[in-house]
Chain A
Amino acid sequence: MKRKMAMIFSLLLCAITLSGCWSKKELTDLAFVIAVGIDKTEDGKYMMIFQVVNPGNVAGATQRGGGSGGVPVSIYKATGDNVVEASRKASNKLSRLIYYAHTNLVVISEEIAKEGVDGLLDALERNSQFRTTAMVVIARHHSAEDVLKILTPIDKISANQIIKTLQFSEKVWGQTLNVRVGDVIHDLDSAGKAPIISGVEIVGAVKKGKRQTNVQASEPDARLNINGIAMFKNGKLVGWVFGETARGVLWVMDKIEQTSITVEWKRKKEAVAYKVVRAKTSVAAHMKNGKPSISIRIKAEGDIGESLVPIDFTNPMQIFALEKKIEQTIKNEVVHAVGKAKKEKTDVFGFGNAVYRSYPREWKKMKHVWDESIFPQLEVNVTVDAFVRRTELRTKPYIFGQ
């Protein structure tokens, strides 16, 4: 009898302690925040925008083919003096608990970025639900709220649309890059490297973009477009780079995987498209008479993608000549990017970091004047080795015979 009682007691104890329902949260009580936007209100407070998944309309929409039932996400807003206050305040509009573990995107408005992102990210880094692997973008020209409101086709949840666009665009085109919250914090934290963040902008009619009709047209009234890289200095946005200059930044940072480069041939601009398949950049710091210099060595391998001019690709000499042109084009992109950063006096490439790694003692002396006086005058040597490995399925272009 005693034994039985003890057994029952221990079973009960297990049932109570092992089920772990101390702070239980039912799935139906959670609001999954997929993206967070941060804006500034007119009276200087923070406005947090939460893009919350509408679970019923995400899976269902694809099955119904068109999703007439409802929108896949809804937007909630709250203002507060800081991020945590705003996030708690949103509870008076939301019928569920805000749950951050699935937040994959942070959109920061350009206005806030210009004032500085320093303080903002602490709340995100400190919170144990939130992951620092979430991506960051800057909303260009529009508020973060507008960006998160736009409904998108193909990927129903617009946060996913932005994330995937960032990932694939970096991979095949290389003029924007995906930056994670953790990277930004690391850059803000360590001396000799300033953060950069890609921009997202709205093309089209913003007001129409938030209606379901936006995704019912073959060409939506409003689209989200990833464009430009924002350069930061002391946590504040100081300038943008676009297009090929932006790609120059990625070349230096060894972020280029694939891209396409157009080179001129015999005075015809945009004559040959060179497809980069593989690329590797190494950055090294040198010190001469107490003066630092940086050497950047880029190695690119690729194929000929397209030729609009008659070049005899069966002739290796022609290929070598073309390689020279490609090298010059890449070098120009890099030089432009470095020049732009020097003009803004912000070391987004981490050259200071390279100096610190190789010459820690000298770095200590120049650390405080690096951005202002040393970096803008820094000697940067760029060497590019480009290789055309193959010409794909054809040798000479068909216009060769004409």
Chain B
Amino acid sequence: MEPVKINARQLFVLIVLFEHGSSIVIPLGVGAKQDVWLAILLGLTFGLLLFFVYYRLHRYYPDAPLTAYAQDIAGPWVGKILAFIYIVYFLYIASRVLRDFGELLLTFAYPETPLFILNAIMMLAVMYGVYKGIEVVARTGELFLTFLYLLAVSGFILIISTGLVDLHRLQPVLEEGWKRVWKVVFTETLYVPFGEMIVFTMLFPYMNNPKKMKQVAIAGMALSGINLAIIMTINIAVLGADVAARSTFPLLDTIRKIQVANFLERLDIFFMIALIIGGFFKVSVFFYAAVIGTANLFHMQNHQRLVYLLGLMVLLLSIAIASNYPEHIKEGLKIVTIYMHVPLQIIIPLCLLVAAAIRRRSFKQQ
């Protein structure tokens, strides 16, 4: 483990940037049409419940990351396999987010650039950040979050002042009842981005003020959830549910519609900055968790030597996982959700928590 510490504010910043990450640009939960805001807020509610599971686990082992206490709870053999699975999971999701990022940039800004180049440049930056350690990434985050918020607020004002928002487009509420909303919650919004908080079980031990951790994490998640709900609601109110559902990047379409006073227009760069900042921190957090986990599992003192190797793996994986963008998205929504998010974000943490609780109790009785 690195001897570094991050403070409460830095954890907050990391969580907010991580949660916004790619969710801000993709059509998050548009299956719920105009009720998408409900789907996101419900996803947040259940995501917070999941977070309590992760938090309880962390309270049992305040100084260890997930990969370490899994071995303690489930025994050395099963625990090592679990830890390995989690490392692969983090690496895979890191490469998925990297792919998302590259595809998005390619589609609207660099149509003639090969995907590999874009991903490689991004990955170089991520590798450098992770090599320097989580504290450096967190401090960078503090800078960029302010910047992102300035952009978001000015973008919001511009959208309103262009007169684009038509609240009628949010009606009718609950057109097909709650069923459609629940379906989206339990197939999409619960896992991405809220269930992905599982990756922070690897970072919690670095916190220098464990007492504040719960408040900070909940505040970070809630803020992100509310922000995402607002962003998707604006997208729907500007574009209409049908166009937003067909769009590859609804936020881009929304920003492109801004036209204020014949000169404040074509602000695509807003979207690009949001995409790059969010993408960088999401990949970094996943990648860092994977690197730290590997170092922990194989008892390496220095995680930095792993950065090159695993970084290269993430980069190659991001190219290899899908042959086209629709395939990539389909995998993400169907296969990854059922075979990865559900067991690794919900089932295994719950099992670990129950096992840990039972063991604690039997210890106390002795």
**How many residues on the B side are at the interface (Cβ–Cβ under 8 A)?**
25
Interface check A132, CB cutoff 8 A: yes
Interface check A360, CB cutoff 8 A: yes
Interface check A238, CB cutoff 8 A: no
Q: Are A17 and B121 in contact (CB under 8 A)?
A: yes
Q: Are B175 and A360 in contact (CB under 8 A)?
A: yes
Contacts of A360 in B (CB 8 A): 172, 175-176
Shortest C-beta distance, B260 to chain A (Å), equals: 12
Per-residue CB contact flags for chain A residues 341-367 toward chain B (1 = under 8 Å, else 0) read 000000000000000111110000000
Q: A357-B171, A358-B172 in contact; A131/B243 too (CB < 8 A)?
A: no
Contacts of B113 in A (CB 8 A): 22-23
In B83-114, the 8 Å CB interface with A consists of: 107-113
Q: Are B121 and A133 in contact (CB under 8 A)?
A: no
Q: Are B172 and A186 in contact (CB under 8 A)?
A: no
Shortest C-beta distance, A20 to chain B (Å), equals: 9
Contacts of A132 in B (CB 8 A): 253, 256-257
**How many residues on the A side are at the interface (Cβ–Cβ under 8 A)?**
18
C-alpha spacing A356/B253, complex, angstroms: 25
Shortest C-beta distance, A291 to chain B (Å), equals: 19
Q: Which of A128, A182, A356, A359 contacts B108 (CB 8 A)?
A: A128
C-alpha spacing A142/B142, complex, angstroms: 60
C-alpha spacing A202/B121, complex, angstroms: 54
Q: Are A128 and B168 in contact (CB under 8 A)?
A: no
Shortest C-beta distance, A252 to chain B (Å), equals: 14
Q: Which of B109, B242, B253 contacts A190 (CB 8 A)?
A: B242
Q: Are B110 and A182 in contact (CB under 8 A)?
A: no
Q: Are B256 and A186 in contact (CB under 8 A)?
A: no
Q: Are B257 and A182 in contact (CB under 8 A)?
A: yes
Q: A17-B121, A186-B243, A190-B240 in contact; A357/B172 too (CB < 8 A)?
A: yes
Interface check B239, CB cutoff 8 A: yes
C-alpha spacing A11/B161, complex, angstroms: 43
C-alpha spacing A359/B175, complex, angstroms: 9
Q: Which residue of B lies closest to A18 (CB)?
A: B121
Contacts of A374 in B (CB 8 A): none
Contacts of B107 in A (CB 8 A): 128
Interface check A155, CB cutoff 8 A: no
Q: Are B172 and A356 in contact (CB under 8 A)?
A: yes
Per-residue CB contact flags for chain B residues 166-208 toward chain A (1 = under 8 Å, else 0) read 0010011001100000000000000000000000000000000
Shortest C-beta distance, B53 to chain A (Å), equals: 37
Contacts of B121 in A (CB 8 A): 17
Q: Which residue of A lies closest to B256 (CB)?
A: A131
Interface check A277, CB cutoff 8 A: no
Shortest C-beta distance, B326 to chain A (Å), equals: 14
Q: Which residue of A lies closest to B240 (CB)?
A: A186
Contacts of A128 in B (CB 8 A): 107-109, 111
Shortest C-beta distance, A283 to chain B (Å), equals: 10
The 5 closest A-B pairs by CB, nearest first: A23-B112, A357-B171, A360-B172, A360-B175, A189-B242
Give 28 CB contacts A-B under 8 Å. A17-B121, A23-B110, A23-B111, A23-B112, A23-B113, A128-B107, A128-B108, A128-B111, A131-B266, A132-B253, A132-B256, A133-B256, A133-B257, A133-B259, A133-B265, A182-B243, A186-B239, A186-B240, A186-B242, A186-B243, A189-B243, A189-B246, A190-B242, A357-B168, A358-B171, A358-B172, A359-B172, A360-B176
